[in-house]
Structure 1
Amino acid sequence: MAREPVTEAGSGSKICPRRHYHNMDPSALEPSLYTVKAIIILDNDGERLHAKYYDNAYPSTKEQRNFEKNIFSKTHKNDSEIAFLEGLTVIYKSSVDLYFYIVGNPQENELMLMTVLNCLFDSLSQMLRKNVEKKSLMENMDGVLLIMDEIVDGGVILESDPQQVIQKVNFRVDDTPLTEQSMAQLTLSLSGLAHRGCSFNHGTSIMRKSSAEERGRNVLGTDVKVLTLRRINDSRKY
């Protein structure tokens, strides 16, 4: 089936999705497992929240920032989901104050990249309880990183099912070994429980001692009363 022409980022003209690499080296068109070149998350000001590059196309942080600024300026007011920029295929989606980008080679199948984007977004939506916005994302960044690692590793797509991603992330969290900090917290909690237990036992001992003393006084008082009555009765006999 023929591909529909798409709009090139930053222009209103329709282009063929494959036009920009017809003259490329044929070896570059060979299928590869390394599908994803980068995953980028920006806020609605174009500032990076998280970005992961899987090759050396942009080796320095400055080059990466310039690329991110470029794709944001060309896409944040564009309704299309696909852009061709700097010889790369960019699939993107926005949500409230967030922009998600999946970057691939120019010859990459757009549907594959869209599958990665949808898996990332749906997985985050489940983790954030459908509250996919900047504040929630920043508060759960550890989970975001785990989700990204489950979907793509070194540019290779590992998983495209959001349910499987969430299950694997939950398993990794549950299987995380105790750190020194968590061990210290556990020790402190146990110490607190032990201290409260000792205080309780000590208090119980005091209560028991007080009860025994009270019973002693009651018994002693009874004996004194009995002895007094006997003496009064004896004196009356005489």
Structure 2
Amino acid sequence: MVINTFGKPRLSKFYEFQWRSNKSSSAMSTQDTRLVYKHYATLYFVFLFDNSENELAMLDLIQAVFVETLDKCFKSVCELDVVFNYSKMHIILDEIILGGQVLETDSVEVVRAVEEISKVESTTSAGTLINKSIPSWWAR
């Protein structure tokens, strides 16, 4: 999860949803869940994970992989990059973590994969995927 200094979530991704009652507090703590965060400029990067993971490894994943990759993709990432490029943020996060499992820890490889996906998306426009029999006013 990425939140700004005012507490507004800017990016969130959950791999296991847990129902909570309406009467529960805003803090969640269980025996098997831990939280680490890192503050950069106006953003907090927050990771929640289970006891099988190491806190220092998660902090390193935030700092040396996720934030470093964001800086390479956005040239010094800021809150507006997160807000206006949320789909690219999810792609980056999916290249690093998928289904709750860490897949890639090399930011250079993540950037390379994101650039390849961006090239494919730029060559494939939505207009070419629309059937020619659809009226032009409807395809807008």
- TM-score, with length taken from structure 2: 0.76
Q: Which residue of 1 aligns with 2:36?
A: 91
Cα distance in 1 for residues equivalent to 2:116 and 2:59: 26
Residue aligning to 1:124: 70
Determine which of 131, 153, 156 is the counterpart of 2:98: 153
SS at 2:51's partner residue? coil
Residues of 2 paired with 1:145 and 1:121: CA distance?
Answer: 13
2: CA distance, partners of 1:158 / 1:108: 14
Cα offset for 1:105?
A: 0.8
CA distance in 1, matches of 2:126, 2:54: 46
Identity %: 21
Q: Across the two proteins, how many residue pairs are aligned to each other? A: 124
- The reply to whether residue 133 of structure 1 matches residue 83 of structure 2 is no
| SS of residue matched to 1:136 | helix
Give the SS at the match of 1:53: coil
Contact 2:38 2:59 in 1 (8 A): no
Q: Work out whether residues 43 and 98 of structure 1, in 8 Å CA contact, stay in contact via their aligned partners in 2.
A: yes
Q: Which has the higher contact order (CA 8 A, sep 6+)?
A: 2
- Corresponding residue to 2:112 among 129, 154, 167: 167
Q: By how many angstroms is 1:107 displaced?
A: 4.1
Gaps of 5+ in 2: 130-140
Whichever residue aligns with residue 53 of structure 1, its letter is F
- Secondary structure in 2 aligned to 1:52? coil
Measure how far apart 1:139 and its partner are. 2.2
Unaligned runs of 5+ in 1: 1-39, 72-84, 185-238
1:17-166 correspondence runs (5 A): 40-56=1-17, 58-59=18-19, 66=26, 70=27, 85-87=29-31, 88-118=33-63, 119-130=65-76, 132-166=77-111
Structure with the larger helix share: 1
Cα deviation digits, residues 86-138 of structure 1 (max 9, x gap): 432212111121110111113421233123212111111111201x2212221
Instruction: Judge conservation of contact 2:11–2:82 (CA < 8 Å) in 1.
Output: no
Amino acid at match of 1:173: S
Q: 1:151·1:158 contact (CA, 8 Å) conserved in 2?
A: yes
Give the partner amino acid of 1:162. S
Q: Which has the larger radius of gyration?
A: 1
Q: Is the 2:2–2:46 contact (alpha carbons within 8 Å) kept by the matching residues of 1? A: yes
Counterparts of 2:19 and 2:99, CA distance in 1: 15
Query: CA deviation digits over 1:22-50, x for unaligned, max 9?
Result: xxxxxxxxxxxxxxxxxx11111111111
For the residue of structure 2 that corresponds to 1:159, the secondary structure is coil
CA distance in 2, matches of 1:113, 1:168: 22
CA distance in 1, matches of 2:85, 2:13: 17
